[in-house]
Amino acid sequence: MTLLSIRDLRTYFYTEDGVVRAINGIDLDLEEGETLGIIGETGCGKTMLGLSILRLLSENTKVEGQVLYRGTDLIRLSKAQMRKIRGKEISMIFQNSLSSLNPVLTVGTQLAEPVEMHRHMKKQAAKQRVIEMLKAVKIPSPSDRAVEYPHEFSGGMRQRAMIAMGLACTPSLIIADEPTTGLDVTIQAQIIELLKEVLEQSGASMLLITHNLGVASELCNSIAVMYAGEIIEYAGVIDLFKNPGHPYTRGFFDSLPNRGLKPMPGTCPSMINLPAGCKFHPRCPHASSRCEKEKPDMLKVEEKHHVRCFLYD
Ligand code: SF4
């Protein structure tokens, strides 16, 4: 069953330099129990997608389109209705645990807050729930750790606490934004294992935002590749890694250390001055005059594999 359906999502924000077109017509579906990876270079709009779904955006931002969560359009909910969804139905695990946790509150107090609010638990019961959650994310001596402050935790421990916070109200959807960034390889592997375990146990779906293909391949069933605020390729994880179809996806993979370290020419376009036609045409080795004028549609190249490129027309 489809848990989340995104239709023609567009997110703009207004700056002194012009309108930043961060999301440019995204369509996506996420099934119950599925983990969908959103990959792409820094600045391609991945994080804005997560923030747009949860409407965690500043006042100068405009969001259009539909974000249907179990059939309810989140874009059209009031702020109060949205607060009830956040944390309880959909939670977000942010990338920088140090800046995401409040330095002047103990970890336990911060974890207890959403539990008290969404599950209407009394202080003592919430405290017990916090200890259970810290235990579930394998934090040793959870009762002692709950009364410590974020700076007393190591980076890996803090990330575990963030995951515990994301899971505290047993959400159906978790949006994890670069959950392993900044952690060393060993801790990264432990966090991946932990996420696998908690997803299996909870049955929750996850939208994993990452530029780390190793993390995506470990955790995801399907992957959507983003470029300049659009999805340009979508496929099952094995299919995508074996047969990347879009010239950008191929270039992105080739630039990785384990795939030849071949740098891709050019840089991501400015989201204020996006190129006409195919947004990748200034960097594409296969660009034709058509690519400069027309925007390609998503084309089916195989069952569950779609590519936005005229090469498949
Ligand atoms: Fe390259 Fe044209 Fe395909 Fe865009 S549509 S990726 S420019 S070949």
Residue 189 located in a structural domain: yes
Tell me, yes or no, whether 163 and 177 share the same domain: no
Whether 9 has a pLDDT exceeding 70, the answer reads: yes
Phi/psi zone of residue 98: left (φ > 0), alpha (ψ -120 to 50 degrees), beta?
alpha
Share of residues in the chain with pLDDT > 70 (%): 99
Q: What is the mean pLDDT of residues 271-287?
A: 95
Number of domains in the chain: 2
Whether 96 has a pLDDT exceeding 80, the answer reads: no
Residue 33 located in a structural domain: yes
Q: What is the mean pLDDT of residues 21-43?
A: 94
HSE (side-chain half, CA atoms, 13 Å) at 282:
12
Query: What pLDDT is attached to residue 97?
Result: 67
Query: What pLDDT is attached to residue 310?
Result: 97
Instruction: Tell me which residue range forms the domain holding 78.
Output: 1-85+172-263
Strand partners, 173: 90, 205
Sheet of 18-31: strand order equals: 18-31, 2-15, 61-69, 72-73
For the Cβ of 287 lying below 6 angstroms from any atom of ligand 1, the answer is yes
CA of 168 to the centre of ligand 1 (A): 44
Nearest C-alpha to atom 5 of ligand 1 is from which residue? Answer: 309
User: What's the pTM?
Assistant: 0.91
Whether 98 has a pLDDT exceeding 80, the answer reads: no
Query: What pLDDT is attached to residue 69?
Result: 97
Pairing of strands 2-15, 18-31: antiparallel
Cβ count near 278 (within 10 Å): 28
Query: What pLDDT is attached to residue 163?
Result: 87
CA of 21 to the centre of ligand 1 (A): 20
Separation CA 246–CA 280 (nearest Å):
10
Q: What is the mean pLDDT of residues 92-101?
A: 79
Share of residues in the chain with pLDDT > 90 (%): 64
Whether 249 has a pLDDT exceeding 90, the answer reads: yes
Tell me, yes or no, whether 77 and 116 share the same domain: no
Residue 289 located in a structural domain: no
Tell me, yes or no, whether 113 and 228 share the same domain: no
Query: What pLDDT is attached to residue 179?
Result: 86
Residue 23 located in a structural domain: yes
Q: Domain boundary at 119, 143, 169, which? A: 169
Residue 299 located in a structural domain: no
Nearest C-alpha to atom 3 of ligand 1 is from which residue? Answer: 309
Which of 167, 158, 157, 70 is CA-nearest to residue 115? 167
Separation CA 14–CA 252 (nearest Å):
29
> 227 falls in which pLDDT band (50, 70, 90)?
very high
- pLDDT tens digits for 197-214? 889 988 999 999 998 888
Q: What is the mean pLDDT of residues 131-135?
A: 89
Query: What pLDDT is attached to residue 5?
Result: 97
pLDDT averaged over the chain? 91
Q: What is the mean pLDDT of residues 16-25?
A: 94
Tell me, yes or no, whether 31 and 177 share the same domain: yes
For the Cβ of 281 lying below 6 angstroms from any atom of ligand 1, the answer is yes
Residue 282 located in a structural domain: no
Whether 184 has a pLDDT exceeding 90, the answer reads: no
Q: What is the CATH number of the domain that holds 205?
A: 3.40.50.300
CA of 210 to the centre of ligand 1 (A): 24
Tell me, yes or no, whether 59 and 142 share the same domain: no
